[in-house]
Amino acid sequence: MANIPIYPGSSSFFPGDTPFGFYDYDYQFQTDADKVALFCARRLGYPIENIELQDINFYTAFEEAVTTYGNEIYAYKVRQDYLSMEGASNTTNLNSVVIQPNFAGIVRLSRQYGEEAGVGGTVPYYTASFHTRANQQDYDMNAWAQASASLAPGDTIEIKRVFYESPPAIVRYFDPYAGTGTGMMNLLDTFGWGNYSPAINFLLMPINYDLQKIQAIEFNDQIRKSNYSFELVNNQLRLFPIPTVDDGKMFFEYIKNSDRNSVIDPTVTGSTAITNVSNVPYANPNYTQINSIGRQWIFEYTLTLVKEMLGYVRGKYSTIPIPGAEVTLNSADLITAATAEKASLLERLRLHLEDTSRDKQLERRALEADYKQKELNQVPQLIFIG
């Protein structure tokens, strides 16, 4: 086996010494790399104990620690702001920008309710018609859909509205300026001129009078006549009253179930939109801009990675023979300690990020305001005498 040199107690970092080179040309990273290597070596017992690693092993751990720190920071930001980010452009780096919350994601989630009510959303409504037949009350709209050229093979429809209604009551009611709308004016209505009747006595009736009159006409039709109505069950349409003439045109509105079942948002187009957490435009952090709090966490995490790496190296040989005895290496202790410390450091960072979340900050501000108000209530209130 070749005699591979181990860490001599000092090093000199050059760009290209790390596996990925994410921060190799960052001056602060270059400066700290050798300091971190010395810090880790001394924490592991150097120079009393040899550290069976080389400088590039320390640099690799240092690069990984910085990247892990950045990943935790930005993964937290994505979790907190993804509802506002989804659908936005991913062409702008978000490392150094403040995310502004918006309603885009909430509106996108609520469109489905507007779609069902026909007042919004992305599912288009289509209008079509068919011919009624004399004395035919039932019509199979599924058969109409299968025969329609506007639907793809196998597509189905859901009818949302049927325009089978009586003439509006207002066209059978007289001008409210023309008195009560009764008596001689019925003659005009006989010839279809009632809604064009002139104002002859210039008496403006209250609006509630018009509403009551309209309701009376509609209620009369419902009770005393075979009122216009329909039943729609599983796209089987039944009309009331039964049509009495051929070729009456029946209009209706429907949606295609393929449109409703589509999972693609037509309002978000192009290949530069944020569609999932993997293409949110966060990059590796700028090491120079990381403050002392973050750097201390990085130094400790680097030490943990180095400890784990050294444990695996020493685990290659459980014991080393020396004159008259054997030396047992502490591989298992190093790996066990490193595993626990990594988990502890990650948990500490995540708790710190959670404590600075938007909801925690607002909660803290509200609590602070309550305490301030309680303190101010202790101030004596002066009585003003004018």
Q: Does residue 256 lie within any of the structural domains?
A: yes
Q: Does residue 55 lie within any of the structural domains?
A: no
Q: Does residue 5 lie within any of the structural domains?
A: no
Q: Does residue 132 lie within any of the structural domains?
A: yes
For residue 174, what are the domain limits?
118-261
Averaged pLDDT for residues 218-240: 85
Q: Peptide bond preceding 47: is omega within 30 degrees of 0, i.e. cis?
A: yes
Q: Does residue 123 lie within any of the structural domains?
A: yes
pLDDT tens sequence across 21-39: 999 999 999 999 999 999 9
pLDDT tens sequence across 156-208: 999 999 988 777 777 766 555 544 444 445 555 555 555 555 545 445 678 88
Query: DSSP letter at 217?
Result: H
- To which residue do tokens 């092993």 refer? 57
DSSP string for 286-349: -GGG--HHHHHHHHHHHHHHHHHHHHHHHTT-SEEEETTEEEE--HHHHHHHHHHHHHHHHHHH
- Can you point out the beta strands (E) in the chain? 126-132, 138-140, 157-162, 229-233, 236-240, 248-256, 319-322, 325-328
Q: Does residue 160 lie within any of the structural domains?
A: yes
pLDDT tens sequence across 339-349: 999 999 999 99
Residue 255, SS3 per DSSP: strand
Q: What's the number of domains the chain is made of? A: 1
- To which residue do tokens 């002066």 refer? 382
Q: Does residue 381 lie within any of the structural domains?
A: no
CB 327 within 8 A of CB 319: yes
C-alpha torsion angle, residues 332, 333, 338, 341 (rounded to 10): 140
Say how many C-beta atoms besides its own lie within 10 A of residue 279's C-beta.
Answer: 12
pLDDT tens sequence across 232-248: 999 999 998 888 888 78
For residue 164, the model assigns a pLDDT of: 84
pLDDT of 85 > 60? The answer is: yes
pLDDT of 327 > 70? The answer is: no
For residue 68, the model assigns a pLDDT of: 98
Q: Does residue 81 lie within any of the structural domains?
A: no
Rounded to whole angstroms, how far apart are CA atoms 181 and 178?
6
